[in-house]
Amino acid sequence: MILPKSNRLTPEQLVEVTAIVTEFGCQIQPIVGAVRTIYAIVGDERDELMINRIEGLSYIDRIDRIQSPFKLMDRRSDLANGSLTVGAVTLGRELFVIAGPCTIDPKNANYFYETAQAVNEAGAHMLRGGVWKPRTNPYTFQGDVKSLDILMEGARRTGLPADTEVMEEAHIQLALDAGVTSLQVGARNALNYSLLRAIGRAIAQRRDVVVLLKRSMHMGTLNEFISAAEYIAAFGNPNVILCPRGTAPGLDGYRNHPDESITPLLKEKTWAAVVVDPSHSVGKAIYVPAAALAAVAYGADGLCLEAHVSPSHGIGDDPKQALTPDVLASTIKRAKQLWTLRRDASSDVTVN
């Protein structure tokens, strides 16, 4: 990672630096921040000759030599000094909450609008709703592009930014054109590297857009998870939020094996925000409030909660998974209180 002395390289300086790295078979990827731009060296950047030549340039401050499989998402990367603001919230300054139904029912838009209102009143910051849905059974409802308009109408009515899952390359531009703020990569696609690349490419210049990257239920290692985020960031936009959502096989009684406990481990390795999804993890609304609080206790920056005004009318995941508005509101309230308590407590105690 190249850090210039000024906030960014001039076009002439960029040409000079690019010429050097090209000689060594590498490329330059600018990562444009609000205040300064830093430059990732893409390729094998270990050649000391290349490093010395770049460091010798009068306008270069230094080169971050991070030996990491995910050098952009690595906690030691210069990107760790940035902050991510989504809608009204800067992550890390308050608990960030995404909520909404699993899937939008295009035939009953009012359920979505009513749920959106309940989500807003409960104190959430982003409205989720599935337009395209990955389903185990190919004969069940697979989603409907018509729901994209319903999602955006719910976002307009509440003033909340919208989150939806994109399952294939064609969905990305449709979602962006509609005004979706958060592209969700579902657990089943978290290892789909061509989709991750396509998303990275599409949002490279869109710092107003974030990616909510679910952990695959089959991802054993944290390196796999963070490297999936690196695939997206490598195109120039590092706004990737990591979302643990439970792994397979499920713990007897829970839908998946709850994994909120990986939060502090992720935070040791990466600067990325962690937004835990307890809904898909435990899979039943009765267990979600405790799992949500556990996630906050482990240091999560946010929560992603499934909710519906009338869960028995929900489509997509098991209706028993969705929180009713009153439980959603009490869960968010308690989770925010715990988040504040934890923040205040951790300023008294030095953890690592």
Q: Please tell me the distance from the alpha carbon of residue 112 to that of residue 148, in angstroms, as a whole number.
A: 12
Query: Residues 225, 222, 89, 184: what is their CA dihedral angle, to the nearest 10 degrees?
Result: 20
Q: Phi, psi at residue 305, to the nearest 5°?
A: -120, 135
- Tokens representing 99 are 């909520």
State the minimum distance, in angstroms, from the CB of residue 334 to ligand PEP. 22
Q: Is 308 in the site for ligand PEP (CB under 6 A)?
A: no
State the minimum distance, in angstroms, from the CB of residue 126 to ligand PEP. 13
Q: Is 165 in the site for Mn ion (CB under 5 A)?
A: no
Minimum CB distance to Mn ion smaller for 17 or for 291: 291
Q: Phi, psi at residue 144, to the nearest 5°?
A: -155, 125
Closest CA to 242 of 184, 297, 285: 184
Q: Count residues near Mn ion (CB under 5 A).
A: 2
Q: Please tell me the distance from the alpha carbon of residue 163 to that of residue 89, in angstroms, as a whole number.
A: 15
Query: Residues 295, 286, 279, 306: what is their CA dihedral angle, to the nearest 10 degrees?
Result: -120
Q: What is the distance, to the nearest Å, from the Cα of residue 322 to the centroid of all Cα atoms in its chain?
A: 21
State the minimum distance, in angstroms, from the CB of residue 134 to ligand PEP. 6
Q: What letter does residue 250 receive in the DSSP assignment?
A: P
Span 112-141, contacts to ligand PEP by CB under 6 A: 130, 134
Q: Please tell me the distance from the alpha carbon of residue 27 to that of residue 345, in angstroms, as a whole number.
A: 44
214 binds, among ligand PEP, Mn ion, none (CB under 5 to 8 A by kind): ligand PEP
Q: Is 45 in the site for Mn ion (CB under 5 A)?
A: no
Task: Decide if 256 contacts 281 (C-beta within 8 A).
Answer: yes
Minimum CB distance to ligand PEP smaller for 130 or for 258: 130
Minimum CB distance to ligand PEP smaller for 134 or for 250: 134
Minimum CB distance to Mn ion smaller for 153 or for 318: 318
| Helix (H) / strand (E) containing 37 | strand 37-42
186 binds, among Mn ion, ligand PEP, none (CB under 5 to 8 A by kind): ligand PEP
Segments in the chain forming alpha helices (H):
11-23, 48-55, 109-121, 147-158, 169-178, 193-202, 222-233, 263-269, 278-282, 288-297, 325-348
Q: Please tell me the distance from the alpha carbon of residue 340 to that of residue 59, in angstroms, as a whole number.
A: 42
Span 238-297, contacts to ligand PEP by CB under 6 A: 245, 277, 280
Q: Is 102 in the site for Mn ion (CB under 5 A)?
A: yes
Minimum CB distance to ligand PEP smaller for 171 or for 214: 214
Q: Count residues near ligand PEP (CB under 6 A).
A: 10
Sole window of 94-102, 163-171, 246-254, 340-348 interacting with Mn ion (rule: CB under 5 A): 94-102
Q: Is 317 in the site for Mn ion (CB under 5 A)?
A: yes
Task: Decide if 100 contacts 128 (C-beta within 8 A).
Answer: yes
Q: Please tell me the distance from the alpha carbon of residue 182 to that of residue 289, in angstroms, as a whole number.
A: 24
Site track for ligand PEP across 71-110, x = CB under 6 A: -------------------------------x--------
255 binds, among Mn ion, ligand PEP, none (CB under 5 to 8 A by kind): none
Minimum CB distance to ligand PEP smaller for 188 or for 342: 188
State the minimum distance, in angstroms, from the CB of residue 57 to ligand PEP. 45
Report the residue from 71, 125, 171, 214 that binds ligand PEP according to the rule CB under 6 A.
Answer: 214
311 binds, among ligand PEP, Mn ion, none (CB under 5 to 8 A by kind): none
Q: By the criterion CB under 6 A, which residues form the site for ligand PEP?
A: 102, 130, 134, 186-188, 214, 245, 277, 280
